[in-house]
Amino acid sequence: MKHIISSLLILLLISCGNAQENKEAKQLFQGIWYNADSGERSLFVKNDTIYFPDSLNVPMYFRIVDDSLELHGAGIDKYGIRHQLSHIFWFTNLNGELIKLRKYDTPTDTTIFTYKGIKPVTSDTIVQDSIVSCQGKHYHYYTFMQSTDNKVLKQTYTSEGIQVDNIYYDNKIRLVIKSDEKVIFDKDIVKKELSQKIPVSFLSQAVLTGLRFDKSCKKGLSFNATLTIPDERMSYLAEIIITPEGEYLVESDK
């Protein structure tokens, strides 16, 4: 009997969970939607997916549950639906602003909503080559920056205040240092090694975008590694010191 009651409760919970999704509202939501105020194309809804006019925005799975639009990306965000008809969709964005969308009967090209995939921040190998002095000795260094397969997820917002995900490739920078034609250092510098004193929230969305010689110091050769969130101006510098013996030190952020 206990097993029967447990099974009935599970079935009841499942049926209730399925009943929460409003399939009629989901069907009304299909199609291309325009911002009613600006006239710009805003969303293309097809089946269970929402596509965006910015080709870098990752398409998102969605549900309409009760009176909310649920978008499933890096997290689950809920947008309160204020008014919905076959050609009208009003919702409140994450800032509490009322957004009004409108759908038209005229056929519209959907290619603008095509997702173009992950974007490399740099597609070419960048080479720097120079000779510097430290403690009376000359050092020849050169760097190579290349895109990797490591993905960086950046969360951003559409003009309607919808939180979306963009994906980028991270970079690695190979640093080679020679003294008297002898290689004293040869290593790929990657983001995860530069995490000291850099906020986790910034580091998770940042890409390694540069490595430049800064100065000679008592410990050795000082380089600045730059971490940047794609398409934003804010960045952090992590100081890397290579000692004359080829030891690798990450001092701090600047």
Look-up of token digits 């990752």: 58
* pLDDT reported for residue 5: 39
* pLDDT reported for residue 108: 79
Q: What is the pTM of this model?
A: 0.74
Under a CB-based contact definition with an 8 Å cutoff, are residues 103 and 87 in contact?
Answer: yes
What is the mean pLDDT, run by run of 10 residues, along the chain of 254 residues? 41 47 94 94 96 94 96 93 96 95 86 83 74 88 91 91 93 93 93 82 90 88 92 87 88 57
- 120 has which bridge partners? 169
pLDDT in tens, 138-162: 999 999 998 898 999 988 999 999 9
* pLDDT reported for residue 13: 40
What is the end-to-end Cα distance of the chain in Å, rounded?
67
pLDDT in tens, 184-199: 999 999 998 888 778 8
Residue 239: which of 220, 231, 141 has the closest Cα? 220
* pLDDT reported for residue 76: 93
Under a CB-based contact definition with an 8 Å cutoff, are residues 45 and 30 in contact?
Answer: yes
What single-letter amino acid sits at 152?
V
